[in-house]
Amino acid sequence: MNVSNLSRLEQQLGYCFSQPKLLLLALTHRSFSHHNNERMEFLGDSILGFLIAEALFGRFPGAREGQLSRLRAKLVKGQTLATIARRFSLGDWLQLGSGELKSGGFRRESILADSLEAVLGAIYLDGGIVAARKRALAWFADELASLTLEAPNKDAKTRLQEFLQSRGCELPQYQVLQVQGEPHQRHFVVECSAALLKEKTQGQGGSRRIAEQLAARAALIALGLEKTHD
């Protein structure tokens, strides 16, 4: 892959490299070359952990250390990282060895998660901590917005459903109102309606799942079951 071909990925990531070779290295799996992204992934993993911890510290000023640790673990786990990587179609850009290509390595959760961390490490090396922070917060904006300290092991949709069921009400309904953007940058607007809500609530996000969770969280707030967080 030539560095000149990476401009479209840079656009998707929201960052233009002054040293494109750093991005190319971040996309190079160990199965492809001895000169690969493992060291950059190590760096990106540490930077991401710090940036997410910093964001959570500011977002939840009343949270205890254990609560913050659980929320951070939820955000930086491989499944979440792979989900974000798929939004950029990152797997299509990876340099993989023939064995990994044949076995579908470009779809593997662990490879996608590691590669996203490597890309963040590359951004840090290219533009410093300010650039890395800006990109990380943008990439994780939907996930950060959907977090809550209440019942951390249950998501908003589950909590809303259980509350309504406990009151003998029908399950909430979710309707997609809008889908905008290119395939790799979709933006969903979802509406939630439920029996006890005076007005329907809405949520917006980079996936239907996130938008539904935010609509459900808005419903919980409207019902007085959850507090807002600045």
The residues annotated as belonging to the active site are 45, 117
With CA atoms as reference, report the closest residue to 132 among 57, 217, 227, 47. Answer: 47
By DSSP bridging, strand 187-193 and strand 173-180 are antiparallel
With CA atoms as reference, report the closest residue to 158 among 102, 99, 213. Answer: 213
114 labelled binding-site residue: yes
Output DSSP code: residue 95: B
Output DSSP code: residue 182: -
Output DSSP code: residue 87: H
The token duo for 4 is 């000149």
Q: Can you tell me the distance from the alpha carbon of 125 to that of 184, in angstroms, rounded to the nearest whole number?
A: 25
Residues 6+ apart with CB under 8 A from 79: 109, 113
Contact 152, 76 (CB under 8 A): no
Beta-ladder partners of 171: none
143 labelled binding-site residue: no
117 labelled binding-site residue: yes
Beta-ladder partners of 95: 28
Binding residues: 41, 114, 117
Binding residues for Mg(2+): 41, 114, 117
